Amino acid sequence: MDWPHSPLHRLTESGTYIVTCGTYNREHFFKGSERLTILRDELLKIAKEYKWDLQAWSVFSNHYHFIAVSTHSGQTLPRFLGHLHTITSKAVNGLDGRPGRKVWYQYWDTLITFEKSYLARLNYVHNNPVKHGLVELASKYPWCSASWFEQTAKPSFYQTVMSFKTDRVSVRDDFNPEI
């Protein structure tokens, strides 16, 4: 029986997942370039440690999204996120002189099983800073993968991803981030 009071996590398969996580009470713990850089850099480092291949990411003052591939099993996701949340909580709590303060709340994950869904979600995550009105071009937001994707993807794949509409993508994203 599924627990009705928290997001459901069915992480038995290897594959591609989209993950969203919000801060406690949607507080802007990661407001400012120093804090956003900490969150982005730790996400990249810890994903590599846990052998999750990041495909897209966007980090904000009060939430983040990423798409990553796990070739082994999705079961390592809770440990990966627990590690990320511990490190980043200690970092911002240290900056604020608030040891032990709760920073992260819940995360939501979805195993992506259809190619079109994957491509639309890649576009969504890369361009999330634009959706939130933080920049006009996602590649100008240094805490997301848009610039990296534009520089490293094959031009045909980049154009394919960027052509996908995202208006019907269902991603929990009712946050109002600040820089």
- Token pair 């009705």 in the structure block, residue: 4
Q: Does residue 118 carry a pLDDT above 90? A: yes
pLDDT computed for residue 13 by the predictor: 64
| Token pair in block for residue 102 | 């709760």
Chain segment 132-165, per-residue pLDDT in tens: 999 999 999 999 999 999 999 999 999 999 999 9
Q: Where are the domains of the chain?
A: 15-163
CATH architecture label of 15-163: 2-Layer Sandwich (3.30)
Distance CA 166, CA 85 (A): 28
Beta carbons of 177 and 60 less than 8 angstroms apart:
yes
Beta carbons of 50 and 138 less than 8 angstroms apart:
no
Chain segment 8-23, per-residue pLDDT in tens: 444 556 789 999 999 9
Q: Does residue 44 carry a pLDDT above 80? A: yes
